[in-house]
Structures are given as structure tokens and as C-alpha cells.
Structure 1
Amino acid sequence: MSEPMILALTALAQTTRLQAFRLLVKSGPQGISVGSLAEQLNVPLSTLSRHLNQLQQGQLIKTWREGRHVFYATDWAGTGALLNYLTEDCCQGRVDLNTVCHNLGENQS
């Protein structure tokens, strides 16, 4: 298993990080401000910052600043790489699963 995949899976293996990631996926490309994310998760900003850092290290989210506000959104390149890694061997000859795996990749681009 490659190091980036280990980092991504490790980042998702914690409740708050998984909840944050799911909210960011739902938010789309516009993302969510860090303050709003902390409020929705009911987590202090300092704690959330550590969790978001791990998701960034796993290449699952990206961040940017607009004035005084910091935003986070899903990094679809990293998330897509993880999905591809997890599904690359899932279909091995099974036509019924091949469509599912193919659709997963298309829906994330």
C-alpha cells in the first residue's frame, strides 16, 4: 500500500474527521468556512484545525483564504485517487460490478 493511501485512510479513521469530510463532500466546490464547519460539528476551532490538517495530509481536502475567512473543500484529485485505489481490483471479471466501479469514477470528476 502506498504512503498517500495510508495517510488518506488514517485520516478517515476517526469520527470527527469522517464527519468533517462528509460535510465537505456535500458542500461541493464552494466549500465551507472553518467557523461554520466547527459550528456544524460542535467542535472547538483548535481541535478542528488538527483534524483538518490530517485530512489535508491525506490529500482529501484543500483550503484557501478569502479576506479574513478560511474555507475548506474536498480535494477531488486526492479523493478520486483513493476511490480508484480502493476499487481498481474490485470488479475482476464481474460485469455486474464493472458498471458500479466505472460510475464511481465518473461521478467524482
Structure 2
Amino acid sequence: MEITNALASFAALSQETRLNAFRLLVSQEPEGLPAGEIARQLTVPHNTMSAHLSVLARAGWVVSQRQSRQIIYRASLSHMEDVVQFLLQDCCAGHPELCASLMDSLSGCGVVNTNDSNSE
């Protein structure tokens, strides 16, 4: 991930409604939620929620799929993994044991790939 992509991702989450929407969608994986239900649960007007979901989609945090008359939004766990990997890329200056507690806390939710395919 390029730093400019990371900055755009962080900017998209740096607003309370968008961060709450993303966290809600993470909790609803893998089914996702319709846009109207997200708006209802967060008590946000539908048009406002639509704008927030568009920002999250452009930044890669959410994906959408039309199902009949509804658009279902899902958290992009692969994007979240990319961002976490970006943050941890140079973790602990080559001493991964220093990051063990962090990695353990993430491994239970499937965010971090414990099979490091980049190790050489």
C-alpha cells in the first residue's frame, strides 16, 4: 500500500459517522447491511448516510452489491488487512517478538495473516 492510499483511507475514517458505519459493518460480516438499515441503526438521515458510504467506498473500506431493490454494504476486510499490514510493515525494527501481544490480539478476529508469505 502506498502512503497516499493509506492517507486517503485514514481520512475516510476520521469522521465519527463513517467510523461508526465501518465498525457496524465489521460486526455484520459476512452478511452486511442495507444502506437504510445502517442509517437507521446510526440514527443518520438516509441521504447523509449515502454520502458517508460513498466516501468509505472510494477509500476502499466498504463494498456494495445490489440485491433486488436494496444495496447491501459490507466491510472490506481485505482493505482493513492491507491498512493494518501497512501500519505494521516495519514493526519492532525486525524484532517481531516485541509485537507478539499486538499480533495475538488481532489473530483471533482473522485480521492478520499469521502465515507471513513475505518472509524470506
State the shift of 1:33 in Å.
0.8
- Match of 2:91, SS? coil
State the shift of 1:76 in Å.
1.5
Q: Which residue of 1 aligns with 2:11?
A: 10
**Sequence identity of aligned pairs in percent?**
30
TM-score, normalised on structure 2? 0.81
Q: Which residue of 1 aligns with 2:64?
A: 63
> RMSD of the TM alignment (CA)?
2.0
Residue 77 of structure 2 corresponds to residue 76 of structure 1: yes
Structure having the higher Rg: 2
Structure with higher helix content: 1
**Aligned residues between the structures:** 109
Cα distance in 2 between the residues matched to 1:40 and 1:27: 12
Residue ranges of structure 2 left out of the alignment (5+ in a row): 114-120
Residue ranges of structure 1 left out of the alignment (5+ in a row): none
Cα distance in 1 between the residues matched to 2:71 and 2:91: 38
Q: Which amino acid aligns with 1:29?
A: P
Cα distance in 1 between the residues matched to 2:55 and 2:36: 18
